[in-house]
A and B are shown apart, each in its own frame.
Chain A
Amino acid sequence: MPTVVISGSSCRDFTHGESEFEVAATTFRQLIRELEQRFPGLGEHVEEYMAIAIDGVIYQDAYHAPLKPNSEIVLIPKIGAG
C-alpha cells in the first residue's frame, strides 16, 4: 500500500502527530476519502489547501493522479506565487 508522509504541522494537527502511515488508495481521489475517514477533517483540509507529491512529483489538484502500491505520497501546502 502507498505510504503517506506528513512533514508540515498543519496536517499533523489532524493526525494527532502521526507523520507516516499506509493507505489503501490507487488515486488522489481515493486518498482524500481515505484520509477523511481515518482522520476526520484531514481529507477536506487536503482537498482545499494541500498538494500531494507522488514519488517526488507535485500534484496541486488531480483526482485522477495514479498511486502505485509502493508510492511515497507527501502532503504539502499548495504553492502559489507571483
Chain B
Amino acid sequence: MTFIGNKSDLRVVGTRPVRPDGVDKVTGRAVYGADATMPGQIIGKVLRSPHPHAKIISIDTSKAEKLPGVKGVITSADIPNIPSEEAFVGEGPMNFRDLSLNCMARDKVLYEGHVVAAVAAINDAVADAALKLIDVKYEILPHVIDVEEAMAPGAPILHDNLFTAGVTPKPTTASNVAKQVRFTIGDVEAGFAQADVIVEQTYTTAPVHQAYIEPHACVAAIAADGQVLITASSQGHFMIRAYTAKLLGIEIANIRVTNAEIGGGFGGKTVVYLEPLAVALSKKSGRPVKMTMTREDVFRGTGPTSGGTIWVKVGATKDGKITAAQTVIKLQAGAFPGSPINPALMCAFAMYDLANVDTLGYDVVSNRPKVAAYRAPGAPISSFAAESAIDDLARKLGMDPIDLRLKNAAKQGSKTVYGVTHGVIGYEEVLNAAKAHPHWTAPLGKNQGRGVATGFWFNIGGESTGGVFINEDGTASVVTGSPDIGGSRASMAMMAAEVLGIPYEKVRAVIPDTASIGFTHVTGGSRVTYATGMAVTQAAQAVVEDLKKRAAMIWDISPEAVEWKDGEAVPAGANAGGFDPLPLAAIALKAAKTGGPIGSEISVNAQGAGPGFGAHICDIEVDPETGHSTILRYTAVQDVGRAIHPSYVEGQIQGGAVQGIGWALNEEYIYNKKGHMDNAGFLDYRIPVASDLPMIEAVLVEVPNTRHPFGVRGVGEVPIVPPMAAVRNAIRGAIDLEMFHLPMSPPRIRAAVDAAKAPKAAE
C-alpha cells in the first residue's frame, strides 16, 4: 500500500473539525441503548443469585407466570444447552458454552449476581413483582474470591471438569487454575548472575470495572418466521449478531442488529449479557422485549478486568544495563477461564531490549463475575509491577529513571519475550520527549513527588468494512461497520475527504446495521482508525480511480491521461488536451452517462498494526496524616503514528490516563465475608471526579506506522498502561514509601506511613 501520510501534503487529516454526530449528542437527540424502543415492547428483567457459589436445586416460576401482566418467564431450560466450543473472537479466546452459562446459569451459580431466570412483563412494577415470585432452591457451596486462595490446596472448586492446561503430564484432578503459560528468551539465571543490582518484589492489583456511564441496554424482537431484530448499545453489532446466533442456535441471516449510540465501553461491551435473554423472552412472550441494566446490575453482573498477584525480579549491571527480567503473574479470570494472562506476560517488559526474560502466568477462576476486556487487557497489571520495579532499580543504581529506560529502550530490531522483533517503533522518541518536557525538571514542594512510568500495547488490525459513495450533488457518504465510541465517524470522514480532495463538510459518515454493510470486528483493540480507516481509505482511492475514468470518458481521452488534484480531474499534461478541470460534482452529475452510481465498499483484514508506546509523568502530593493523595500535574507522552483528529487522540490519552489514576488510587471491588460485593454503585466504587484532577497534558509524538496509508497507530489502549506505576513512583518520591498494593487508597498509605515509623517497617 502506498503511504500518503506526509504531513506537508495533508489538508484535512490533522485538523480538528466538529464530529458529524456531535449536534445530536449535545442536544439530547442521540439514541443510546436505553432510548431505543420497538412498537408494543414490554419490559424484561433478570433474577440474580444472592449466593457466590451454589447448586441450583430447583426453580419454580409458576407463581410468577400466573401474575397478571407477566408475559413470559425463562430459565436455562429455555436456552439451548450448547457444547463447549472454543473460538478466538475479536477480544480474545472465548468458550461459547461459558458465555451461555454466564448469561444464564444452568446447574450452578458461580458468583453473586449470576443470572438464574428472567421475566417479561407489561411494566417495571409487574416485572419486579414477578421476580419476587420466582422460587429458587439453592444448595449453598463454599466460595472463594481471592486468587491466591483459589489456587491453594483444598480451595472450593468451581468447575469439576476444569483441568489445568499447559502443564505436563496432564493433571487428573480438577483445579481453579485453568491454564499455565510461559514465555522465555535467553537464560534469566545467567542474566541475574551478571547483575550487580537486583530488585525483587511482589505486587497486587484489584479488579477494576470499565465503569462506562451507560448501563447495558437493548430491545429485541423475534417474529413468527424466526427473523430477529435487535437494537443494542455495544462495541460491535456484528458481535451481538454472532453471539446471539451462537447461543440461541439461530441462523445469522435471520438476525439484524442496529447499533444504538454507545455510552462508553472500554472493552466491557465486547460481549453479550442481555441480548440472548431479550430474544428468548420475546420468543416466549411474542412481544418485543426491552432490557436495561441498573448500575448495580452492571457491577454485579458484568465483567471487570482481572486483579492479580505479580512477582517481579529485575537485575542490572552498575552502569544500568538490565541483564535479566522475570515475572510470575496470577490473574483472576472470574467465574470462567479467560483472564488476559497472555498479554499480561507479553507486555510486561516489551518496552525494553532484553536478552534474558522469563514470564510465567496462571489463569485462575474464582467466585466473581467473569472478567471482560478492559483497555489493553493485562498490560496495566503486569506493567504496574514491572515499571515499579524498574523505578526502584533506578533508585538503587542512583540513575535517572528515564535514562535507565533509555539505556535499555526497545528499538527497531529489539526482540520481545514473545519472540517478535519490533519494527519501526517510537519508544526512544517518546522517552526523549518526556525527558525534554519542562514538567520533568519543574520544582517540587514538601510531601510532593514525581514519578514516571512507561507502557506498551500491540494494537491490532482485523476485519473491517468501509464504503465511500459519491452522491448526485458531489457530496460523499461514508459507511463503516465500526460503532463510533469516541469520534471515529469524524476520522473516517476526514480520511475519505483527504483522499477525495473535497472539504470535510462534504462528507458524512454513518454506521449502518449488520445487514447493510460487510462484517466488521468490534470497536476494540485500538483497531478502528487503523483497520476500518484502511478500508475507508482504500475505498476512497478506488473511487478516485473510477472518477478519473469517468472524466476520461467525458473528455474522451485515455484514463492514464487524467490526474486527480484537490477534488478535481485535470489533464495529466499538455498533450492530454487543454481541458478545464472537472470538479467531483460535475463528474457526479454525469454518473448515469458514464457508467452509473459511483462508489466502492472495501473489506479488509488488516494485519501488522503498529505497536504504541507511552511515557507518563505524574506529580503528587501526599498528606501523611490522612494518606490522601492529590495529583498536582500530569503529562502523558505517546507515539500515535499519525493523529487523524488530534483532539480525539488527545482525548483517548487523557481519558485512559485518568482511568489509570482511578485504578491507582481508589477503584476496587470490595467483597464481604459472604462473598457479596459491598460497593456495587458509583457512591463507593470511586471513579475519579473532575475535582480530583488537574488538566492532563497529552503530548503527541508522531512516528508514522508505514503499514497504514496515513501512518496511524492505535492510541486507545496504551494510555491506561503507565499510570498506576507513575502514581506509585510519585508517591514514593513524595514520602519515600514503597507501595506494593493497588489501590493506594488513603487507609493503605496511612498504614504504610505508620509501619515505616514503627521499628522493622513492613507493609
Which residue numbers of A lie inside 8 Å of B, CB to CB? 5-10, 13, 48-49, 53, 55-62, 65, 72, 74-82
Given contacts A49-B93, A62-B605, contact A82 B420 (CB under 8 A): no
Q: Mark B65-97, 1 if CB is under 8 A from A, else 0.
A: 000000000000000000000111111110000
Assembled-state Cα–Cα distance A78/B420 (Å): 13
**What are 6 A-B contacts with C-beta separation under 8 Å?**
A13-B166, A49-B88, A56-B421, A80-B92, A81-B458, A82-B267
Q: Which residue in B166, B180, B461, B524 is a CB contact (below 8 Å) of A82?
A: B524
B481 on interface, CB distance cutoff 8 Å: no
Q: Mark B350-383, 1 if CB is under 8 A from A, else 0.
A: 0000000000000000000000111111000000
Which residue numbers of B lie inside 8 Å of A, CB to CB? 86-93, 166, 168, 180-185, 210, 265-268, 270, 340, 342-343, 346, 372-377, 417-423, 457-462, 524-527, 605, 607-609, 707, 717
Assembled-state Cα–Cα distance A75/B342 (Å): 13
Contact yes or no, B525 A48, CB < 8 A = no
Considering the complex, give the chain B residue whose CB is closest to the CB of A50.
B88
Contact yes or no, B419 A6, CB < 8 A = yes
Contacts of B270 in A (CB 8 A): 82
Considering the complex, give the chain B residue whose CB is closest to the CB of A28.
B607
Contact yes or no, B423 A57, CB < 8 A = yes
Assembled-state Cα–Cα distance A65/B461 (Å): 15
B167 to chain A, nearest CB (A): 9
Contact yes or no, B607 A80, CB < 8 A = no
Given contacts A7-B185, A65-B607, contact A74 B373 (CB under 8 A): no
B97 to chain A, nearest CB (A): 16
Given contacts A56-B420, A74-B421, 18 further A-B contacts (CB under 8 A): A7-B183, A7-B418, A7-B419, A8-B342, A8-B418, A58-B609, A60-B460, A60-B461, A60-B607, A74-B420, A75-B419, A78-B92, A79-B342, A80-B377, A80-B524, A81-B375, A81-B458, A82-B210
B220 to chain A, nearest CB (A): 25
Total A-B Cβ pairs within 8 A: 126
Considering the complex, give the chain A residue whose CB is closest to the CB of B714.
A81
| Interface SS majority for chain A | mixed
Considering the complex, give the chain A residue whose CB is closest to the CB of B210.
A82
Contact yes or no, A9 B182, CB < 8 A = yes
Assembled-state Cα–Cα distance A5/B420 (Å): 9
B290 to chain A, nearest CB (A): 27
Contact yes or no, A81 B376, CB < 8 A = yes
Contacts of B181 in A (CB 8 A): 8-10, 77
Contacts of A80 in B (CB 8 A): 88-93, 340, 373, 377, 460, 524-525
Considering the complex, give the chain A residue whose CB is closest to the CB of B343.
A79
Contact yes or no, A5 B419, CB < 8 A = yes
Assembled-state Cα–Cα distance A8/B423 (Å): 20
